[in-house]
Chains A and B, each alone.
Chain A
């Protein structure tokens, strides 16, 4: 999909957020970026989205082509919906910005809303929706333009445990079904272990890739209580202790 070549980012104020990040990401991987707050995870996502430019190094895209507008879906930590638009209107937005007619977009929007379990809430304004449903709208908005690459920045961090599990299940199923490339940021070890096909652990500032773990938990069965999952959590925890010694 793309390859990060010695990517560094120093902000104008002098903060060095990322230092010499290198990684190859293949299409269809579910990559979780795991690291403590402030280690540069959001910055890395923003570089991938093209919202920031690296200070040095480069991102090389497959076929030498950076995805065009709308080919990258972005999900933020907060749902960041427009409160004056319905669920339908919020999901329509990316298409609307590209001049797609409403008549043409409606079947797509309805399909994506249904896929996210929101079929009956198309006309609801964000204020009338729960936190979990708002996040579902936000994900639907990212999916509407059928992006090959989905960037998600701690999307479930503000949700309660029950809602979070439901959304994690749905996201995992979505990834299995569609084979999208997903880069998912979190600071939760459990979330990383549950979702990822590959975990990149980042060290504190300046952010570097401290460990690169390939995950193979067999599909099917109770994933969260499987032995493979529990072992993976233990493995990640050890790695984190190794790279982040207690002060």
Chain B
């Protein structure tokens, strides 16, 4: 009973908040080109979903491509750093530098240098997204229990056996945590990259629609696109969370 209440609470809260919002907009008479109510936004979506839905698909394509690239690069770097302390010493400061540099500042350069707009967007988003995967996987690899490593040594394990049979599997929980954080960052990255690219980019994603709508003062349309991004973010975060729980539970139990 209590658990169902807790499940329903966020939905009920959302409905109440939307109603209050609609009531405030209707009663105060604010024009919808300044603050649209939920009903206006819904109508804007119905009017333009033939544009908005493909735009969402475009943004999500960039997001997932970037997440795939970030995963490959993050895991590869983490493994290399775990294998060689010299490589770690050489690369770690640069990875951190890349992480702390506001990507908005590099994005115009990348978009200038990379001729294919899709690739440029993916590169920007991947740079924003890869760090949590790298740092979590590296931490997981480093935290492999010493006793188990000793056990492998005692039985004459090769480096590869140590990596594939012990270190990577024991880093899996950390990797999945990193993946969940990186998933939402990849969406942020895709949006940032689209903003920076503007009409020079792919010119079809949701962020581009937001810019376009703001130029034309189509505020309800802007809100509709914004809400679609928010829902996508929540969806990615919870889907990766479910994946994490499912994988670990079915593996260890």
Given A68-B156, A84-B251, A93-B165, 6 more A-B residue pairs with CB atoms under 8 Å apart are: A49-B154, A50-B154, A51-B153, A51-B154, A80-B147, A98-B156
**A69-B147 contact given A84-B251, A84-B252, A97-B161, CB 8 Å threshold:** no
**Of A70-78, A113-121, A199-207, A223-231, which stretch is located at the interface?**
A70-78
Residues of B within 8 A of A98 (CB): 155-156
A80 in contact with B252 (CB, 8 Å) = no
Q: How large is the interface on A (under 10, 10 to 19, 20 to 34, 35 or more residues)?
A: 20 to 34
A94 within 8 Å of B (CB atoms): yes
Chain B min CB distance to A70 (Å): 5
A128 within 8 Å of B (CB atoms): yes
Residues of B within 8 A of A127 (CB): 252-253
Residues of B within 8 A of A49 (CB): 150, 154
A125 within 8 Å of B (CB atoms): yes
A125 in contact with B252 (CB, 8 Å) = yes
Bound Cα distance from A126 to B153, whole angstroms: 22
Our pick among B155, B169, B253 for the contact of A97 (Cβ within 8 Å) is: B155
Classify the secondary structure of A's interface with B. Answer: loop
Bound Cα distance from A170 to B96, whole angstroms: 54
Render B146-160 as a binary contact track against A, CB cut-off 8 A, 1 for contact.
011011111111000
B155 in contact with A93 (CB, 8 Å) = yes
Chain B min CB distance to A175 (Å): 20
Bound Cα distance from A244 to B145, whole angstroms: 34
Chain B min CB distance to A72 (Å): 6
A83 within 8 Å of B (CB atoms): yes
A125 in contact with B253 (CB, 8 Å) = yes
Bound Cα distance from A93 to B164, whole angstroms: 13
Our pick among A68, A76, A83, A93 for the contact of B147 (Cβ within 8 Å) is: A76
Residues of A within 8 A of B147 (CB): 76, 78, 80
A69 in contact with B156 (CB, 8 Å) = yes
A60 within 8 Å of B (CB atoms): no
**A74-B154 contact given A83-B252, A84-B251, CB 8 Å threshold:** yes
Our pick among A72, A84, A96 for the contact of B154 (Cβ within 8 Å) is: A72
B166 within 8 Å of A (CB atoms): yes
Bound Cα distance from A74 to B156, whole angstroms: 13
B169 in contact with A84 (CB, 8 Å) = yes
Interface residues of A in 77-100 (CB under 8 A from B): 78, 80, 82-84, 93-94, 96-98
**A82-B169 contact given A127-B252, A127-B253, A128-B253, CB 8 Å threshold:** yes
Closest to A70 in B: B155
**A80-B156 contact given A97-B161, A125-B253, A127-B253, CB 8 Å threshold:** no
Bound Cα distance from A76 to B152, whole angstroms: 13
Residues of A within 8 A of B145 (CB): 80
